[in-house]
Amino acid sequence: MKKVGFLIFCLFAMCSMAGKAQDVVADSTGYIVKVGEMAPDFTVKLTDGKSITLSELRGKVVMLQFTASWCGVCRKEMPFIEKDIWLRHKSNPDFMLIGIDRDEPLEKVIAFGKSTGVTYPLGLDPGADIFAKYALRKAGITRNVLIDKEGRIVKLTRLYNPEEFASLVKEIDGMLSE
């Protein structure tokens, strides 16, 4: 009987250690995904009531913008996303842009979209569960994730930097001209 107890203890200890070995490792900006990896799948409910599943967008270039109404940097970046990306490519059937608002109620997200003047789709991320597929749950925003037509991550940005943003715009333009 002692042997069975010892075996159970050993199995439990090994399982506990295996769980620790699989702890998420983030880069210096808080991302847990990397360029070249397949983008984690999710379904997001938009402010208009429609739902979008990322994997159903294969064949399109997809940009995810993680945002929130309380984020000053997000508010600074969003008009540039609207003007330099969304308005230029919204009619392109090979492109989709989704702003994903972290852990705020529908009414607040709708008001946020209106106050920033953006017309691109905004989605709800209750509990930051979608965000946590891409970055540490408590990591900061704004963040942009650019995904190619095969579903692979091609660019990750953090905060708003004009040079990095210009690089993002150039990358999207290039991907859509192929």
pLDDT per position as a tens digit, 76-132? 999 999 999 999 999 999 999 999 999 999 999 999 999 999 999 999 999 999 999
Q: Residue 178 has what pLDDT?
A: 81
Tell me the domain boundaries of the chain: 26-177
Write the CA distances from 60 to 42, 73, 94, 171, 173, integer angstroms: 16, 27, 4, 14, 13
Lowest mean pLDDT among 19-28, 80-89, 144-153: 19-28
Q: Residue 175 has what pLDDT?
A: 98
Residue 120, CA atoms < 13 Å, CB-side half-sphere: 28
Please check whether residue 118 is in contact with residue 14, taking contact to mean a CB–CB distance below 8 angstroms. no
Domain 26-177 is in which class? alpha beta
Q: What is the token pair recorded at 51?
A: 């739902």
Residue 170 has pLDDT above 70, yes or no: yes
Residue 16 has pLDDT above 80, yes or no: no
User: Which tops the pLDDT comparison, 40 or 17?
Assistant: 40
Output the pTM of the full model: 0.86
